[in-house]
Amino acid sequence: MANPAPSSSSTPTPAPSRAADVALVTGASSGFGLLISVELARRGLRVYASMRDLGRADRLRAAADQAGVRLELVELDVTRADSIERAAAEVKGAAGRIDVLVNNAGYGIGGAVEDLSMAELREQFETNFFGLVALTKVVLPGMRERRRGRIVNLSSIGGRIATPGLAAYNASKFAVEGFSEALRHELRPFQVFVSLVEPGMFRTDIFDRNRRLAARAHDPGSPWFEATRRLEKVVDRRVEKSTADPRRVAMVVAAIAKDPRPRLRYLVGRDARAQSLLARLLPARLWESAIGRATGMASQS
């Protein structure tokens, strides 16, 4: 596997001590993964920041240099078993163990259920769910044997509350939630803590470079064509107005990594907390019409 020289800081910081916890982060080329990697390194962890294409490491290197921290880069595509095995072996070979696993890599494909192909649905699950599961299964035996570890899974408020046009993404994150909750119970007796981070909307590449829409949703012949356009406008407006700082997510993940007994769930963002509260407090019918109005779906029939 390509193993480029670690990025080094212009202002040298002391190298992490031998006892520093070792973290592996997926999807570190942009967004939360990049910020989480830098924040964990700032807090003294030895960080292996992974990405599927090391050619996209420039932003991470620049952020690490700016923060004055050192990171190791690892190639890792969470949808490929060989890549997972190689990356985990590389980190264990160099650092001896993995103490903190941050399953962050993911994307969201939009589109009404009728417009989503089975291949698009499966692909969504391959990255957001099965990728996370496969890497976790490779890392957790070591954590269990050492009776020490943190597994931090990036879910979403969309892992608790589903909205129209996001069924594939919602289903994959609901799956992450169920998996993580069950695994939490299995590993708690071993002092290995599984946590879910559930952000609301934060402006990252997920709404830009990595934005995906079902192929059929582009077809004016689809009965969902107009509804999808309305929904896209709603999302565009929300993204444009969003002022939430994605570094907040990185701070929460870093706090979990340092917490001796982290909780299972962490909602991040005012919008996520408000939605979670309303969904619990409002009668179901009121909640459903609120979702219909907010997403432009109420005018569908």
Number of residues that bind ligand NAP (CB under 6 A): 31
Answer yes or no whether residue 37 interacts with ligand NAP by CB under 6 A: no
266 catalytic residue (yes or no): no
CB of 137 to ligand NAP, least distance (A): 16
Nearer to ligand NAP, 204 or 228 (CB): 204
73-102 positions binding ligand NAP, by CB under 6 A: 76-79
With CB under 6 A as the contact rule, the residue among 9, 191, 210, 222 that binds ligand NAP is: 210
What string of DSSP letters covers the chain?
Answer: ---PPPB--SS--PPPPTTS-EEEESSTTSHHHHHHHHHHHHTT-EEEEEES-GGG-HHHHHHHHHHT--BEEEE--TT-HHHHHHHHHHHHHHHS--SEEEE-----EE--GGG--HHHHHHHHIIIIIIHHHHHHHHHHHHHHHT-EEEEEE--GGGTS--TT-HHHHHHHHHHHHHHHHHHHHHGGGTEEEEEEEE----SGGGTTT-EE-GGGG-TTSTTHHHHHHHHHHHHHHHHH----THHHHHHHHHHHH-SS--SEEEESHHHHHHHHHHHHS-HHHHHHHHHHHHTGGG--
CB of 251 to ligand NAP, least distance (A): 14
Which member of 48, 107, 169, 266 is catalytic?
169
Nearer to ligand NAP, 170 or 228 (CB): 170
Answer yes or no whether residue 27 interacts with ligand NAP by CB under 6 A: yes
Rounded to the nearest 10 degrees, the angle between the axes of helix 225-241 and helix 284-295 is 90
Answer yes or no whether residue 49 interacts with ligand NAP by CB under 6 A: no
55-74 positions binding ligand NAP, by CB under 6 A: 56
With CB under 6 A as the contact rule, the residue among 54, 65, 92, 205 that binds ligand NAP is: 205
CB of 272 to ligand NAP, least distance (A): 8
Answer yes or no whether residue 53 interacts with ligand NAP by CB under 6 A: yes
Per-residue contact string for residues 144-183; x = within reach of ligand NAP by CB under 6 A: ----------x-x---------------------------
State the residues that interact with ligand NAP by CB under 6 A: 26-27, 29-33, 51-53, 56, 76-79, 104-108, 127, 131, 154, 156, 199, 201-202, 204-206, 210
Catalytic residues: 169
